[in-house]
């Protein structure tokens, strides 16, 4: 079976600064794959490159067999990939409901089933439905960002640091929601995380990114057991 | 749990941080007396004196070169002579000192300001819903109110023109968040389109009006393409330049636009083919309806014409806000990257905002041309763009009612203070400073959701985070 998403030898740069130096990553349908690495390793860049900002300078990105390397951004979303960007980026002056509708409208998807799914997955959002996005707590905003991304009924969800700045309890809630989504709906997830411990426990497979290069890959459990991963990212020594 | 996370040890996640749904502020609940934001237990008088002295010092630094030194042409026209006016400087510095002292003392002894409660927000909302229909009724009834003079109607037309321009620009700046400093360009394109089409091809106002709007929208898209990548200040500079380019082209393309002489003899609009000639005569409005011929008929007609156009702008904007396109504009204003991530075609969204905003500017320009019967590039200077933008910002970005009130206050107020001559600029500047101090997000700063369940709630802008 060919993978759902495949990046082959992808190079990306901001001006003269190379952030990705020939990265090859693949995600199979139905998997949760995590990408861990230190600050500035290029994790977010990798995720954003799938979405075309920045564009890959070299290499190829295919999604479900289709070359999306130079597709316009809104076309990439239309192909079935959704993204919960770094820092959540909800619309602060719009209500929770309006935020969610924005997730569905660009692709012309009927919002009703998405809203139902969002409120089942995160009942907190139902309570806050008429409230402004900017008045939500950090955890609620993260839930909203994920729910908004799911509104377009994507087959692949890109999640950029959902645990950023959140309390441990909330991180656990969000990770368990991701697990449920994957198990119940078969949603494929590519998760970028600094919280290596929890991310590797959640994921089927993982990649370690160091200064723009993939240095390790393997199953979540295997990576957790690797001494170099433990030293560098888990702080257990 | 990793160490990275235990730093953010916030145990409680569910608390409502703001009195969004009627839950009182925590400060109100606990019976803890609210401490006013004023300076705490310093000796009030010494502090006030020191602060006032400091203000007087700053004032002296400003006024000594500005007021104290004056250059005159010397006797016999040879060379410049410096004249000093220390007395005036002393008076001005004294005023600043006294005013600052009084302000300090007052802020020390006044009661602590009451917190903005949900009730107050709700009250403001109720007042707001009553103001809009009242203003509309007044606008419709104005020509028939006793005591409305010809001058009053002319002023009404002027105010409504700016209301319409403000509403048009509000689409670009208030909804889509694209700072446009060259809106007057579309006003000019509309005016010249109407003038040229009607004088060259002898087309009627009602055919030229949509054409002027379409041409302005076309120029809006034309401007939109090169500036798609720009935001904020950079966008402002480029649009400013665009406004100037249009004006300079109009000024120098003499064979088409008449250059600085402008275009005169622009046909007046007709009422279903009935003209408004002052002398009456067959085929005129007065003749058809059996009225005494009067020049007021045309003014009243023009008044209702611009009222109708302005209301059309408002209606289209309100409708669009509830459509996906309007929601996409607002989302674009909030966060462009999130919009891209959600698969919104940012290019089309921006271009549509520029085009629709420009179209209404073009309509207003066509109206301006037909009302004045004469246009020249002088009417389309940067100051017009600045006034329209000031109306939108002072009214509250994105608020239709706020823009209407701001246009009324700015344009109407400007006329009301005409007797003060150049000092009215001072009044104008003072009013702007006052609004920026007390209502920094504009007169009406709340945003009504475009979709809601049950009752609509307007939420004060102070309760939500800034867009960026």
The residue of chain B nearest to residue A126, with distances taken between CA atoms, is: B453
Q: Are A63 and A97 in the same domain?
A: no
What phi-psi label fits residue B421: left (phi over 0), alpha (psi between -120 and 50 degrees) or beta? left
Per-residue model confidence as pLDDT tens digits over B87-108 = 889 999 999 999 988 888 887 7
Cα(B403)–Cα(B416) distance, integer angstroms: 19
Query: Collapsing DSSP states into helix, strand and coil, what is residue B468?
Result: coil
Mutate to test the interface with B, among A72, A127, A167 (most CBs of B within 10 A): A167
Pick the last residue of a domain from B109, B126, B150.
B109
Q: Span B4-18, mean pLDDT? A: 39
Alpha-carbon distance A97 to nearest alpha carbon in chain B (angstroms): 8
Per-residue model confidence as pLDDT tens digits over B104-152 = 888 777 666 555 566 666 676 677 678 888 999 999 998 888 888 888 8
Q: Which residues of B touch A171 (CB under 8 A)?
A: 5
Residue B356 falls inside a structural domain: yes
Q: Are B175 and B270 in the same domain?
A: yes
User: Is residue B79 over pLDDT 80?
Assistant: no
| pLDDT confidence tier of residue B365, bands split at 50, 70 and 90 | very high
Q: Are A192 and A99 in the same domain?
A: no
Position A237 scores a pLDDT of 45
Closest partner residue to A135 (CB to CB) among B20, B331, B467 is B20
Instruction: Give me the domain span that covers residue A92.
Output: 84-153
Q: Are B224 and B299 in the same domain?
A: yes
Q: Are B433 and B375 in the same domain?
A: yes
| Domains in chain A, number | 2
Per-residue model confidence as pLDDT tens digits over A72-108 = 888 898 899 999 988 889 999 899 999 999 999 888 8
CA B326, B331, B334, B337 torsion-angle sign? negative
Q: Span A51-74, mean pLDDT? A: 91
Residue B457 falls inside a structural domain: no
Q: Are A145 and A52 in the same domain?
A: no
Mutate to test the interface with A, among B338, B347, B462 (most CBs of A within 10 A): B338
Residues A134, B20: C-beta atoms closer than 8 Å: no
Q: Are B268 and B311 in the same domain?
A: yes
| pLDDT confidence tier of residue B160, bands split at 50, 70 and 90 | very high
Mean pLDDT, all residues of chain A: 91
Cα(B319)–Cα(A84) distance, integer angstroms: 30
- Write the CATH number for B145: 1.10.3470
Torsion angle of alpha carbons A108, A112, A117, A118, nearest 10°? 80
Q: Please indicate if any CB of chain A lies within 8 Å of the CB of B229.
A: no
Residue B80 falls inside a structural domain: yes
User: Is residue B465 over pLDDT 50?
Assistant: no
Q: Residue for token digits 């600094």? A: A194
Q: Span B248-252, mean pLDDT? A: 94
Pick the last residue of a domain from A133, A153, A173.
A153
- Contacts A–B by Cβ distance under 8 A: 147
User: For the ranges A187-201, A220-234, B396-410, B425-439, which has the lowest average pLDDT?
Assistant: B425-439
Position B148 scores a pLDDT of 81
Instruction: Give me the domain span that covers residue B345.
Output: 117-438
Position A195 scores a pLDDT of 87
Residue B458 falls inside a structural domain: no
Residue A88 has, within 13 A of its CA and on its CB side, a CA count of 23
Which B residues 429-458 touch A at CB under 8 Å?
Answer: 447, 449-453, 457
Q: Are A73 and A1 in the same domain?
A: yes
The encoded tokens of residue B327 equal 């929601």
Q: Are B60 and B147 in the same domain?
A: no
- Write the CATH number for A2: 3.40.50.300
A209, A182 in Cβ contact below 8 A? no
Residue B446 falls inside a structural domain: no
Cα(A38)–Cα(A232) distance, integer angstroms: 8
Q: Residue for token digits 């991180």? A: A171
Q: Are A17 and A93 in the same domain?
A: no
E strands present in B233-285? 263-264
Alpha carbon B281 to its chain centroid, in Å, reads 42
Pick the last residue of a domain from A153, A169, A196.
A153
The encoded tokens of residue B182 equal 């060259």
Nearest to B228 by CA among B342, B355, B139, B395: B355
Pick the last residue of a domain from B82, B109, B136.
B109
Q: Are A179 and A227 in the same domain?
A: yes
Q: Which residues of B touch A97 (CB under 8 A)?
A: 449, 451-453
The 10 Å CB-count burial string (b at 16+, else e) for B236-245 is: bebbbebbbe
Q: Are A53 and A166 in the same domain?
A: yes
Q: Are B26 and B149 in the same domain?
A: no
| Domains in chain B, number | 2
User: For the ranges B270-279, B352-361, B390-399, which has the lowest average pLDDT?
Assistant: B270-279
| pLDDT confidence tier of residue B200, bands split at 50, 70 and 90 | very high
Residues A163, B327: C-beta atoms closer than 8 Å: no
User: Is residue B366 over pLDDT 60?
Assistant: yes
The 10 Å CB-count burial string (b at 16+, else e) for B158-196 is: bbbbbbbbbbbbbbbbbbbbbbbbbbbbbbbbbbbbbbb
Please give the residue that has the higher pLDDT: either B44 or B14: B44
Q: Residue B388 burial by CB count (10 A; 0-12/13-18/19+): exposed, middle or buried?
A: buried
Q: Are A118 and A185 in the same domain?
A: no
Closest partner residue to B340 (CB to CB) among A73, A98, A103 is A73
Residue B459 falls inside a structural domain: no
Cα(B13)–Cα(A137) distance, integer angstroms: 7
Position B320 scores a pLDDT of 93
Position B396 scores a pLDDT of 86
Q: Are A11 and A57 in the same domain?
A: yes
CA–CA distance from B347 to each of A73, A91, B352, B452 (Å)? 11, 19, 9, 28
Q: Span A12-40, mean pLDDT? A: 92
Q: What angle do CA B126, B311, A106 make, to 5 degrees?
A: 85
Q: Are B83 and B230 in the same domain?
A: no
Residues A131, B21: C-beta atoms closer than 8 Å: yes
Per-residue model confidence as pLDDT tens digits over B307-328 = 999 999 999 999 999 899 999 9
Ranked by mean pLDDT, the top range of B121-135, B166-180, B265-279 is B166-180
Q: Are B28 and B136 in the same domain?
A: no
B397, B436 in Cβ contact below 8 A? no
Residue B228 falls inside a structural domain: yes
Mean pLDDT, all residues of chain B: 81
Which B residues 12-31 touch A at CB under 8 Å?
Answer: 13-18, 20-21
E strands present in B41-171? 69-73, 80-84
Closest partner residue to A83 (CB to CB) among B341, B450, B463 is B341
Q: Are B124 and B219 in the same domain?
A: yes
Mutate to test the interface with A, among B5, B7, B324, B445 (most CBs of A within 10 A): B5
Pick the last residue of a domain from A102, A123, A153.
A153
Nearest to A61 by CA among A36, B339, A52, A53: A52
Q: Are A75 and A99 in the same domain?
A: no
Position B202 scores a pLDDT of 87
Cα(B318)–Cα(B400) distance, integer angstroms: 8
The residue of chain B nearest to residue A153, with distances taken between CA atoms, is: B342
Residues A169, B11: C-beta atoms closer than 8 Å: yes
Q: Are A14 and A55 in the same domain?
A: yes
Q: Are B230 and B340 in the same domain?
A: yes
Q: Span B383-388, mean pLDDT? A: 91
Alpha-carbon distance A85 to nearest alpha carbon in chain B (angstroms): 7
Residue A128 has, within 13 A of its CA and on its CB side, a CA count of 28
Residue B196 falls inside a structural domain: yes
Nearest to B331 by CA among A158, A114, A76, A101: A101
Q: Are B54 and B197 in the same domain?
A: no
The 10 Å CB-count burial string (b at 16+, else e) for B246-274 is: bbeebbeeeeebbeeebbeebbebbbeeb
Q: Which residues of A touch B459 (CB under 8 A)?
A: 132, 135
CA–CA distance from A144 to each of A10, A123, A174 (Å)? 31, 11, 11
Alpha-carbon distance A8 to nearest alpha carbon in chain B (angstroms): 22
Q: Are B220 and B321 in the same domain?
A: yes
Q: Are A75 and A1 in the same domain?
A: yes
């Amino acid at each position: 079976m060919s993978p759902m998403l495949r990046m082959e030898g992808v190079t990306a740069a901001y001006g003269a600064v190379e952030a990705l130096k020939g990265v090859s990553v693949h995600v199979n349908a139905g998997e949760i794959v995590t990408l861990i690495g230190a600050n500035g390793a290029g994790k977010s860049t990798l995720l954003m490159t799938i979405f075309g900002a920045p564009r890959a300078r070299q290499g190829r990105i295919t999604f479900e067999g289709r070359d999306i390397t130079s597709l316009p951004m809104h076309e990439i979303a239309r192909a079935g990939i959704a993204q919960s960007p770094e820092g959540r980026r909800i619309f602060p002056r719009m209500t929770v409901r309006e935020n969610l509708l924005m997730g569905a409208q660009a692709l012309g998807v009927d919002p009703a089933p998405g809203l139902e799914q969002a409120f089942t997955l995160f009942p907190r959002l139902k309570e806050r439905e008429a409230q402004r996005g900017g008045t939500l707590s950090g955890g609620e905003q993260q839930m909203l960002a994920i729910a908004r991304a799911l509104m377009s009924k994507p087959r692949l969800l890109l999640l950029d640091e959902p645990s950023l700045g959140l309390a441990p309890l909330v991180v656990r809630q969000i990770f368990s929601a991701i697990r449920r989504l994957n198990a119940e709906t078969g949603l494929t997830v590519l998760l970028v995380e600094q919280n290596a411990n929890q991310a590797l426990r959640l994921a089927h497979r993982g990649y370690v990114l160091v200064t723009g290069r993939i240095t390790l890959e393997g199953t979540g459990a295997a990576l957790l057991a690797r001494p170099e991963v433990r030293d560098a990212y888990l702080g257990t020594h | 749990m990793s160490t990275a996370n235990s730093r953010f040890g916030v145990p409680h996640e569910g608390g409502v941080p703001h009195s969004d749904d009627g839950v009182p502020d925590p400060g109100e609940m606990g019976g803890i007396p609210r401490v006013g934001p004023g300076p705490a237990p310093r000796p009030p008088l010494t502090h006030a004196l020191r602060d006032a002295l400091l203000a007087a010092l700053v004032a002296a630094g400003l006024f000594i070169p500005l007021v104290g030194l004056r250059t005159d042409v010397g006797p016999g026209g040879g060379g410049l002579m410096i004249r000093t006016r220390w007395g005036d400087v002393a008076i001005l510095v004294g005023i600043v000192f006294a005013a600052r002292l009084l302000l300090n003392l007052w802020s020390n002894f006044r009661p602590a300001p009451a917190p903005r409660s949900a009730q107050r927000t709700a009250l403001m909302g109720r007042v707001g819903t009553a103001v809009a229909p009242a203003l509309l009724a007044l606008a419709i009834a104005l020509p028939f109110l006793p005591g409305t003079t010809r001058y009053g109607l002319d002023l009404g037309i002027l105010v409504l023109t700016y209301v319409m321009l403000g509403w048009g620009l509000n689409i670009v700046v208030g909804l889509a968040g694209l700072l446009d400093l060259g809106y007057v360009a579309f006003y000019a394109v509309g005016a010249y389109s109407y003038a040229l089409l009607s004088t060259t091809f002898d087309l009627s106002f009602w055919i030229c009006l949509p054409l002027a709007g379409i041409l302005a929208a076309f120029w809006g898209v034309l401007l939109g393409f090169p500036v798609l990548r720009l935001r904020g200040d950079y966008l402002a500079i480029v649009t400013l330049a665009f406004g100037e380019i249009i004006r300079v082209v109009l000024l120098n393309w003499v064979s088409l636009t008449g250059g600085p002489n402008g275009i005169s003899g622009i046909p007046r609009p007709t009422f279903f083919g009935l003209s408004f000639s002052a002398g009456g005569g067959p085929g005129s409005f007065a003749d058809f309806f059996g009225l005494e011929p009067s020049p007021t008929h045309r003014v009243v007609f023009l008044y209702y014409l611009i009222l109708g156009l302005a209301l059309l702008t408002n209606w289209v904007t309100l409708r669009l806000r509830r459509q996906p396109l309007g929601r996409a504009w607002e989302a674009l204003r909030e966060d462009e990257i999130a919009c891209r991530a959600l698969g919104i075609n940012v290019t089309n969204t921006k271009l549509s905002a520029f085009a629709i905003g420009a179209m209404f500017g073009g309509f207003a320009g066509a109206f301006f041309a037909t009302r004045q019967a004469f246009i020249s590039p002088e009417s389309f200077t940067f100051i017009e763009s600045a006034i329209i933008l000031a109306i939108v910002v002072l009214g509250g970005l994105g608020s239709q009612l706020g823009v209407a009130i701001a246009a009324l206050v700015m344009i109407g107020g400007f006329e009301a203070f005409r007797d003060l001559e150049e000092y009215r600029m001072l009044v104008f500047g003072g009013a702007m400073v006052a609004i920026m101090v007390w209502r920094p997000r504009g007169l009406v700063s709340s945003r009504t959701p475009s979709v809601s369940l049950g009752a609509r709630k307007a939420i004060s802008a102070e309760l939500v985070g800034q867009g960026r």
